[in-house]
């Protein structure tokens, strides 16, 4: 988990957050062990801002990954920041309930939970009668 945390913290340093100054990095580990990172990218049209978690996950999916082992979010302030609803919904597409989610503050405080705790009743592929992709 330490390697994943370090990757998320490094991604946080590359965030583009000129409006909020709230830099976030994320790192997701695929089932094969590969780590993908992302940072938040703000936009002057605020609604077009994309979160670090979604950047990391979409990079992994674009590389062909579909199964994931863990996600770390490195928040931009003194308290561990929780993933937003949009990020949780994207996670629901690919994560099983037992995937660990770790959020880390800028000073290293950690909070860990399973995805099923973060989003106990997700709307995902099963709700549409679909299996895992």
Residue 87 in any domain: the answer is: yes
Residue 107 in any domain: the answer is: yes
In the chain, which ranges are E strands? 25-30, 35-39, 68-74, 100-104, 110-114
Residue 106 in any domain: the answer is: yes
- Count structural domains, the chain: 1
Active centre residues (catalytic): 53
Q: Residue 87 belongs to a domain with what CATH number?
A: 3.40.140.10
Burial of 88 by CB count in 10 Å (0-12 exposed, 13-18 middle, 19+ buried)? middle
Q: Which residues have CB under 8 Å from 46's CB, separation 6+?
A: 19
Residue 96 in any domain: the answer is: yes
Per-residue pLDDT of the chain (133 residues; tens, 9 = 90+): 999 999 999 999 999 999 999 999 999 999 999 999 999 999 999 999 999 999 999 999 999 999 999 999 999 888 778 999 999 999 999 999 999 999 999 888 999 999 999 999 998 888 888 765 5
Annotate 32-50 with b (16+ C-beta within 10 A) or e (fewer).
Answer: eeebbbbbbbbeeeeeeeb
Residue 133 in any domain: the answer is: no
Structural domain span for residue 38? 2-128
Residue 88 in any domain: the answer is: yes
- List the beta bridge partners of residue 39: 25
């Amino acid at each position: 988990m330490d390697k994943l945390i370090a990757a998320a913290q490094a991604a946080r340093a590359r965030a583009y957050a000129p409006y909020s100054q709230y830099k976030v990095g994320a790192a997701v580990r695929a089932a094969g062990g590969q780590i993908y990172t992302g940072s938040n990218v703000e936009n002057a049209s605020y609604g077009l801002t994309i979160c670090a978690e979604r950047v990391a996950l979409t990079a992994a999916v674009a590389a062909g990954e579909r199964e994931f082992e863990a996600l770390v979010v490195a928040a931009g302030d003194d308290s561990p920041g929780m993933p937003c609803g949009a990020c949780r919904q994207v996670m629901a597409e690919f994560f099983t309930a037992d995937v660990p989610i770790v959020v880390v503050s800028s000073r290293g405080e950690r909070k860990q939970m399973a995805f099923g705790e973060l989003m106990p009743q997700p709307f995902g592929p099963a709700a549409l009668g679909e299996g895992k992709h």
